[in-house]
Structure formats: C-alpha cells, structure tokens
C-alpha cells in the first residue's frame, strides 16, 4: 500500500510525494545514535590539523593499533617481526602465561576495546582485532620492561642494539593515531606480571621509558596518584604534564563554556617588547612543578616561567597532545592554552635568544626554527584559554607609561655601575649649578 507524504515548502505550500523504495532505503540508512560513543578516545587526526605538518602525525617504524595497519606488511615489517619475537619470549619465559590465556583476557574486553576507537572497524574481524591487541600490547609491555630492567635486554635486539631506534619509538608511541586502549595494556600487564606485588607499576614502566625522550622534561611532576582515568599512553603523559596546573578558567570564560561560546584569546606583546616596557623574565625555581604554572606579578612586573627544552621531538609531541585535546570532549584545552601563550611571547629569533639568556628556553634547534615551531603549533584549532587573567594583567602593566619610563631610565642610566656613578655626578652637578644660579640672582 502506497503512503502519500506531504513536504512543506518555504513559502508555506506543500507537495505530495509517494513513499517509494528510495525513501525507504534512505530511512534504513538513518542512525538512531551518534557515530561517536562516549568511550571514544583514540582518533584520526582531523585533516584540517594534519595538513599543517603531516609527518608529525605519521609513525616512522612501528604501527600500534588499527589505523596504520594497512602499511604493516611493507613499511613496518621489521617491527611486526619484533612483535612476534617479543610475544614468543614472553610466553616461553613464564609458566603462567599462554596464548590461550592472552586471547581469553582480550576477548573478554571485546566490544569495550573496540569502542575506544572513534572510527568504524568494520573491515577488521574479531579474530584479527584480538590478535592485533595481543601482539601490540605485549610488544609495548616487553619494551617497557626491557627499558626498566636491563637484565631483560638481549643481543641482536633491533630496539636496543641500534642507537636511533629508541628515538623513533619515542616519536611513534606518542602519536594520537598510534594508541592502544589503556584497559588492554592494563589487563595484559596484570596477566603477564611475574610477581605483581614486586614488579613496577604499569604507570611507572611507561613513564620510565620516556625519561630520555623529549617528553621527560615536560613531565616534571611525576605524580602517580593521577586525578582521572587514563585512556592511553598519550593521555597518561598529558595527565602528568597538566597535573598540578593551578590556573582555572575565569568566571567569564566558564559562563561562555557552558553556553558553548568561544572567545579569541587576548594577545600580549612578545618577550623582547615586554622587556623594554619594564617587565622582567625569570625562570621558575620550583622543583617538580608543572611546566604550565606560568605566573605574572602585576605589582612588580615579574614574569615567572618554568624551563622548556626544545628539540626535534618536541613539536610532534605538542602537536599530538593538542590534536587529542581538540578531539576529546573531556580533556580541557590546557596544552593548547600553553602553546598560545608561548606563541604570544615568541615572534622571532630575538625572542628565542632572549628567553634562552634568561634560562627559560633550552633550545637545540636553529633559533628561527624554534620561533616558527611556536608560531604554527596550534593553527586551525580552537581554544578555551586558561591564561586570560594573566594576559589581562600583562597588557595593563605594559600599557602603563610610568613602567615604560622607569624601564628606559634603568636601561639608559642604571644598567652598569659606571652609568650609575655618571648619573649621580651629573645630578649633583645640576643641583650645584641650580644653587649657584639662584644664589647669583638673589645676591648679585
């Protein structure tokens, strides 16, 4: 039986159509629920972000998880063999671990592990998915244990016998697209631990592995009582980096956030311009503090910033952390806010050199490259800014003419002891000349 449907036009008139097969086909394709589940935490980097620097999001030597699995047979063949070797070593060295037990524990996770990926895995059947989780997960665990307990290292291990391999792994294992669900790692860790009460925790193993990586200096606050549920390795590093960050969104921005409105961050002048206006820059002396605890004292104009090291691995790490914040609904834009503020302070190589002199930056790149790194780091992203109050205070101080005048006075007349002596001598001479003039006028 045909059903007649009326569609209303913009002008108020309506046209009848019949419920033909095309309409029924379209109805069947409609989705009742969002394609993204609340548990989604591993994402493809949005193309608008990826295009800024493609190589910052692509693995070099190893694929973890399903996103780059199509290249495993060619580009990542060596490490696919390493994974199989590591799994064999794990099973053969333990009387409690078997392939059957590994398969069982991963199959029990099943759908919950799949639901962590924010894209369909329709072309990956359950058998292949379970095999991938086991190979990749056990490879990571063996890698972290070998790095922590040197007695596990063996000759001819492609990871530890080739000096550049670890550098590539530091890059690859912190890519947003190269993550495994933390729940998978945790289950495999608990099953494969020889003596859980004596072995280092999974969190410790992961952080210990990255101690020699560009992430190490950023993870100053090595607190293992983490404030939220960990989603994957990249999320662990981000959580450690922002743990202890004392600033919160101000009330104005919180109201905007509730309404889902976004304000553009208020810009501040670069570091050299601020310095000329009397603002002083100092390296934070806090030990073990959060790298994002940047402070500005609006009374004396002192900018206090924790030290940041910059090398070739710093940019990919920041880019993937920012991409993760842009994609995940429950990870605030704290790293993105830090990138915005540092971009404000660094416009050119002069700013990089100035901050290096102050001990705030430790730069192993060309100064121009370091400046470009900050200038392009967060392009095509949005940000709910965590340094809004700080930026307001800095701009107020910068625009006060008295502070600029005092800065010029200090720079031109009080920068060295000889200049101070010359200024005092000139001032005394001026006073004596004035007194003599008044004396002459009064008593000619």
Does pLDDT of 236 surpass 50? yes
Find the mean pLDDT for residues 257-270. Answer: 70
Lowest mean per-residue pLDDT among 19-23, 44-48, 94-98, 270-274: 19-23
More confident residue, 158 or 414: 158
Identify the pLDDT of residue 319: 96
Q: What is the pLDDT of residues 328-351, one digit of tens each?
A: 989 999 999 999 999 999 999 999
Cα 398 from chain centroid (whole Å):
29
Find the mean pLDDT for residues 379-386. Answer: 91
Does pLDDT of 315 surpass 90? yes
Does pLDDT of 172 surpass 80? yes
**Buried b / exposed e across 217-253, counting CB within 10 Å, b at 16+?**
bbbbbeeeeeeeebbbbbbbbbbbbbbbbebebeeeb
**Count of alpha carbons within 13 angstroms of residue 394, beta-carbon side:** 26
SS (H, E, C) the chain: CCCEEEEECCCCCEEEEECCHHHHHHHHHCCCCCCCCCCCCECCCCHHHHCCCHHHHCCCCCCCCCCCHHHCCCCCHHHHHHHHHHHHHHHHCCCCCCHHHHHHHHHHHHHHHHCCECCCCCCCCHHHHHHHHHHHHHHHHHHHHHHHCHHHCCCCCCCCCCCCHHHHHHHHCCCHHHCCCHHHHHHHHHHHCCCCCCCCCHHHHHHHHHHHCCCCCCCCCCCCCCCCCCCCHHHHHHHHHHCCCCCCCCHHHHHHHHCCCCCCCCCCCCHHHHHHCCCEEEECCCCCCCCCCCEEECCCCEEEECCEEECCCHHHHHHHHHHHHHHCCCCCCHHHHHHHHHHHHCCCHHHHHHHHHCCCEEECCCHHHHHHHHHCCCCCCCCCCCCHHHHHHHHHHHHCHHHHHHHHHHHHHCCCHHHHHHHHHHHHHHHHHHHHHHHHHHCC
Say what the alpha-carbon torsion angle 83, 86, 90, 92 is, to the nearest 10 degrees.
110
Identify the pLDDT of residue 1: 46
Does pLDDT of 10 surpass 70? no
User: What integer best gives the mean pLDDT of the chain?
Assistant: 83
Does pLDDT of 18 surpass 70? no
Identify the pLDDT of residue 11: 62
More confident residue, 148 or 357: 357
- Grade residue 119 by pLDDT with cuts at 50, 70 and 90: confident
Does pLDDT of 264 surpass 90? no
Identify the pLDDT of residue 42: 96
Find the mean pLDDT for residues 384-394. Answer: 93
- Is the distance from CB of 177 to CB of 68 less than 8 angstroms? yes
- Grade residue 282 by pLDDT with cuts at 50, 70 and 90: very high
- Grade residue 253 by pLDDT with cuts at 50, 70 and 90: low
Going from N- to C-terminal start, the domains of the chain cover 47-242, 257-401
Find the mean pLDDT for residues 426-440. Answer: 67
Find the mean pLDDT for residues 199-225. Answer: 78
More confident residue, 24 or 368: 368
Please, what's the largest Cα pairwise distance for the chain? 124
Identify the pLDDT of residue 399: 86
Q: What percentage of the chain reaches a pLDDT higher than 90?
A: 49
- Is the distance from CB of 245 to CB of 293 less than 8 angstroms? yes
- CA pair distance 308, 373, nearest whole angstrom: 13
More confident residue, 384 or 416: 384
Pairing of strands 295-297, 302-305: antiparallel
- CA pair distance 127, 113, nearest whole angstrom: 13
Identify the pLDDT of residue 224: 56
Identify the pLDDT of residue 160: 87
Q: Which two tokens stand for residue 230?
A: 């960990």
Does pLDDT of 183 surpass 60? yes
Identify the pLDDT of residue 148: 86
Q: What is the pLDDT of residues 70-103, one digit of tens each?
A: 877 788 999 999 999 999 999 988 888 899 999 9
- CA pair distance 250, 245, nearest whole angstrom: 14
- CA distances (Å), origin 197, targets 94, 135, 193, 376: 16, 25, 9, 46
């Amino acid at each position: 039986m045909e059903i007649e449907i009326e569609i209303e036009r913009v002008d108020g008139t309506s046209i009848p159509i019949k419920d033909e097969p095309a309409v029924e086909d379209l109805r069947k394709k409609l989705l009742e629920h969002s394609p993204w589940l609340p548990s989604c935490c591993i994402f493809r980097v949005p193309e608008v972000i990826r295009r800024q620097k493609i190589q910052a999001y692509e693995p070099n030597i190893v694929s973890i998880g399903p996103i780059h699995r199509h290249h495993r047979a060619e580009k990542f063949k060596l490490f696919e063999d390493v994974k199989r070797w590591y799994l064999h070593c794990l099973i053969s060295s333990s009387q409690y671990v078997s392939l059957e037990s590994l398969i069982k524990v991963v199959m029990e996770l099943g759908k919950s592990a799949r639901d962590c990926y924010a894209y369909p895995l329709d072309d990956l059947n359950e058998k292949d998915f379970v095999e991938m989780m086991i190979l990749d997960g056990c490879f990571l665990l063996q890698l972290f244990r070998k790095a922590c307990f040197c007695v596990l290292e063996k000759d001819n291990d492609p990871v530890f016998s080739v000096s550049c391999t670890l550098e590539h792994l530091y890059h690859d294992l912190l890519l947003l697209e190269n993550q495994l669900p933390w729940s998978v790692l945790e289950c495999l860790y608990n099953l494969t631990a020889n003596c859980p009460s004596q072995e280092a925790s999974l969190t410790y193993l992961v952080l210990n592995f990255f101690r020699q990586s560009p992430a190490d200096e950023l993870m100053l606050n090595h607190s293992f009582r983490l404030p939220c549920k960990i989603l994957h390795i990249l999320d662990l590093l981000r959580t450690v980096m922002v743990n202890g960050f004392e600033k919160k969104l101000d009330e104005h921005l919180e109201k905007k956030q509730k309404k889902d409105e976004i304000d553009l961050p208020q810009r501040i002048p670069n570091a050299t311009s601020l310095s000329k206006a009397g603002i002083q820059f100092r390296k934070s002396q806090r030990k073990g503090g959060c790298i994002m605890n940047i402070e500005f004292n609006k009374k004396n104009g002192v900018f206090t910033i924790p030290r940041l090291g910059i090398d070739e691995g710093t940019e990919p790490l920041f880019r993937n952390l920012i991409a993760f914040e842009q994609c995940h609904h429950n990870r605030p834009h704290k790293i993105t806010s830090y990138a915005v503020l540092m971009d404000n302070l660094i416009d050119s190589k002069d700013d990089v050199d100035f901050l290096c002199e102050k001990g705030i930056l430790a730069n192993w790149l060309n100064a121009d490259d370091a400046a470009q790194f900050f200038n392009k780091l967060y392009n095509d992203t949005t940000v709910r800014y965590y340094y809004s109050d700080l930026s307001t205070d800095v701009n107020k101080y910068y625009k006060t003419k008295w502070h600029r005048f005092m800065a010029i006075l200090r720079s031109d007349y009080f920068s060295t002891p000889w200049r101070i002596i010359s200024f005092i001598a000139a001032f005394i001479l001026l006073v004596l000349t004035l007194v003599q003039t008044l004396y002459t006028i009064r008593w000619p």
